Amino acid sequence: MKSSPPKIEPAFFDLAGASAYLGGALEVRTLRRLIMQPDGLPHYRIGPRGKIMVARADLDAFLAGHRREPVDLDALADAALRELKGK
């Protein structure tokens, strides 16, 4: 039985590939804006007018830096009511 070749995950994406990797959460033009910001998304450009490439690790780090934890609104409301009643 012939084994299938190992699946190779790309280490770099062009902007369309980066958008697809993110599940379409960010459009290509949004990625361009993020790249152009000071301290924006790290990227590589090969040649003076070459294609912009973004490392998968940089996309993962960017997402991790924007992670938000859910807020328990019921607990916040209960705490606010307890504080009001205590005063």
Q: Please answer whether residues 17 and 10 qualify as being in contact, where contact means their C-beta atoms are separated by less than 8 angstroms.
A: yes
Residue 61's pLDDT is 94
The pair of three-digit structure tokens given for residue 40, joined into one six-digit string: 């924006």
Residue 52's pLDDT is 94
Domain ranges of the chain: 12-86
Q: Please answer whether residues 15 and 28 qualify as being in contact, where contact means their C-beta atoms are separated by less than 8 angstroms.
A: yes
Overall average pLDDT of the 10-15 stretch: 94
Q: Please answer whether residues 45 and 54 qualify as being in contact, where contact means their C-beta atoms are separated by less than 8 angstroms.
A: no
Q: pLDDT digit string (tens) for 22-80?
A: 999 899 999 999 999 998 899 999 888 889 999 999 999 998 888 888 888 888 888 88
56 CB-contact burial (10 Å; exposed 0-12 / middle 13-18 / buried 19+): middle
Residue 87's pLDDT is 60
Residue 1's pLDDT is 65
